[in-house]
Structure 1
Amino acid sequence: MKKLIMTLLASLALPVSAETLTVAAAADLTYSIEELSSAFAQQVPGAEVKTSLGASGNFFAQIKNGAPFDVFLSADMKYPAQLAQEGAADAATLAPYAIGRIVLWSLDKRFDLSQGMRVLNDERLTRFAIANPDVAPYGRAARASLTALGFWDVVKPKLVLGENIAQTAQFVQTGNAQIGVVSYATVLAPKVKGMGSYYLIPSDGTPPIEQGAIITRHGAANPLAPRFMQFLQSPAARAILLRHGFSLPREKDA
């Protein structure tokens, strides 16, 4: 942590020779990354943030193979930590920036989500969407919660897998899935808010969806990268994340 702080402080004294920052962002940030990027650009005049959205597991593979991203915003801590272990990112910069939450979401009025998880026992349910647990942390979280709550075997034969949490939400929106597990950020987004109904899945007995950011090997030479990492811990960024349905990790002492 001390090394990270020293890196961040040192970056503030550097002239910004690179005006563009490339960020690989987990799909659960679909509705918040633009606001985060704009707020950062306001604090660092002349900075441009180029973002790509997708599954954290896919970004992990791309960055490991040399994809030119400067900062990786994962939907978990596992993928950035693995990149650091393999020398593709700087372990000293790894830091949690948000904690995600998951909900059941449906636009099909036949399903009463006020029942909570019991709605999954409805015999009319034949298509149930989650993100692919092999590449998407939110998919792993969905599987873990459904298992802990005793519903995994109920929905397993009915699964429709999205590549990431954004595609999973699309399955629900288009009717390709009658109910799905999506991020809380999705149902709070202005473009989606008020559509259908949702139920916040209890987190009891399952690990939190702690999301980590890290500077990649490619981003080590970009002075905007540590500035962006510092920005993610700022009151402005934290307020944006809270507004979009994320919880915040506890601030740690240096």
Structure 2
Amino acid sequence: MTLLRRVLQALGAMALLLGVCAQAAPLTVAAAADLKFAMEEVVEAFKARQPGAEVAVVYGSSGKFHTQIQQGAPYDLFFSADIALPQSLARAGLAASPVRPYAVGRLVLWSATRDARGMTLASLADPSITRVAIANPRHAPYGQRAEEALRAAGVWEQVAPKLVYGENIAQAAQFVQTGNAQVGVIAQSLALHPELQARGGHALVPEALHSPLAQGFIITRRGQDHPLAVRLAEFMQTPVARGLMLKYGFALPGEAAR
């Protein structure tokens, strides 16, 4: 009995140690680049409620994250700018949670050097505008919607030769910030950041010109046993997290856009 008791105690200690290690392991999040500013505040608020939690967020193109997760990339959660991408992963058995909608994004015209508040997509055909930044439509949902909108507005042929492509929507905004493009078709969530707001106004692109930017996330199969993955997923439903999404211009699923 003494030997059995020792074995059970050892197993109990090991289970406790594994639980502590799981709690201590950093949470790795893949997040669409349009979330750059909003997610930073969400994570800060989350960590205030989870003392000692380590959360590492990698920002980039949703399409590239989708491919990387298929190839075994070590992300515990995936926040996509297009809900179709986590839905695809879920169908492939790579999700450990339901696909959860968390926001609806908006496209805007933004410039660091001119007042974009009165601009429309037709304005981009003006010969004085020689470089226009968008995210790469091959793998970035905001780039795909920008191309859709430009085609629907009837200015694609005039604007296409002027386009400079960012690997993601944050890089497209950076091109405008640094003068490598005069105007960008970017995410409203980026244009609302104080640093960008201080350098130029923005104008909403009519939603009727492109398919919706419905955004969703999953806990990946890799993150299924990480307790912080579950807690962050739950935190996204709280008034604090939802308020931060509204702050950066996102509409909440099932609610009217502002």
Q: Same fold (TM over 0.5)?
A: yes
Aligned twin of 2:185: 181
Secondary structure of the corresponding residue to residue 113 of structure 2: coil
Report the TM-score when normalising by structure 1: 0.87
Q: Matches of residues 200-215 of structure 1 in structure 2 within 5 Å?
A: 200-215=204-219
Identical residues among aligned pairs (%): 49
Amino acid at match of 1:131: A
Instruction: Tell me the residue number matched to 2:77.
Output: 71
Q: Which runs of 4+ in 1 moved over 3 A?
A: none
Show the counterpart of 1:102: 107
- Aligned residue for 2:86, secondary structure, equals helix
Tell me which amino acid in the other structure corresponds to 1:154. Answer: Q
Offset at 1:121? 2.5
Matches within 5 A, 1:85-124: 85-90=91-96, 92-109=97-114, 113-124=117-128
5+ long unaligned stretches in structure 2:
1-18
Q: CA RMSD in A?
A: 1.7
Q: How far off its partner does 1:65 sit?
A: 1.0
Q: 1:34 aligns with which of 26, 36, 40?
A: 40
Within 2, Cα distance between the matches of 1:205 and 1:118?
12
Select 2:228's aligned residue among 200, 224, 232. Answer: 224
Distance, in Å, in 2 between the alignment partners of 1:178 and 1:229 is: 38
Shift of 1:112: 5.8
* Contact map agreement 2:87 2:99 (CA 8 A) in 1: yes
Decide whether aligned partners of structure 1 residues 45 and 180 sit closer, same or farther in structure 2, where only a CA change above 3 A counts.
same
Match of 2:250 in 1: 246
Count of aligned pairs between the two proteins: 235
SS in 2 for 1:150: coil
Q: Deviations over 1:6-62 (max 9, x none)?
A: xxxxxxxxx774233111111111112121111111223332211111111111111
Correspondence for 2:167: 163
TM-score by length of 2: 0.85
* 1:81 and 2:87 are equivalent in the alignment: yes
Report the structure number with the largest CA radius of gyration.
Answer: 2
How far apart, CA to CA, are the structure 1 residues paired with 2:200 and 2:41? 25
Gaps of 5+ in 1: 1-14
